[in-house]
Amino acid sequence: MPADSPPRPTVFFDRDGVVNVSPGDGYVLRWEDFHFAPGIIAALALCRARGYATILVTSQQGVGKGLMTQEALDDLHARMQQALTPHEAAFDGIYACTHLAGTCTCRKPSAEMILKAQMDHGLDLTRSWLVGDHDRDIQMAINAGVPRTVRILSHHEPKVTAEFTLAETSELIELLREKLPQQP
């Protein structure tokens, strides 16, 4: 990004339960088990068409537990990006915490992944959004100063309030069409 470019607003996305169908209490360990959530590709494309960067911020503790390698996770994300590219919906950046709980400073609800993305991509967090399905996602946005939050309901009882709550990802495109302003 050129040094004189103004900071871009961003829509941050959690992965499991938002970008792809939730594996429940397990992990998506192979591309064959990765399935895009209904409506998410259209939502990503709309964000990009409206001038927003899109950044994936995901916890992937399966690597830390030895259930998959970093290379396997990178391959899964590369395939995801490849599948999104024809739709003009690929992410501008992917940030993954692969550590075990209590062994790092980047695990959600820490703001570290968002703040690293801000530095790497020149992002304006004050005009940004986050879409997640857990309290830790919404709290991460709050901790980073991201004002707009969307929760996709999951099997977890919400304790942290999001600005918008949706029953499923298929409702996200309509919310974004209505509320996400076009950037100059």
What are the extents of the domains in the chain? 10-179
pLDDT tens-digit profile of 110-126?
999 999 999 999 999 99
Return the pLDDT at 3: 55
Give, for 43, the enclosing helix (H) or strand (E): helix 40-49
Examine the residue annotation and report whether 74 is marked as an active-site residue of this protein. no
C-alpha pair distances (Å), 165 with each of 81, 94, 140, 149, 153: 27, 24, 16, 9, 7
Which of 4, 16, 33, 74 is labelled catalytic? 16
Active site residue 135: no
CATH number belonging to domain 10-179: 3.40.50.1000
Angle (deg, nearest 10), helices 40-49 and 172-179: 20
- The pLDDT of residue 160 is 96
Q: Report how far residue 115's alpha carbon sits from residue 145's, in angstroms, rounded to the nearest whole number.
A: 10
Average pLDDT, the chain: 95
pLDDT at 60: 96
pTM assigned to the model: 0.96
pLDDT band, residue 4 (cuts 50/70/90): low
Instruction: Single out the catalytic residue among 4, 14, 92, 133.
Output: 14
Amino acid 5: pLDDT = 77
Q: Radius of gyration (Cα) for the chain, nearest Å?
A: 15
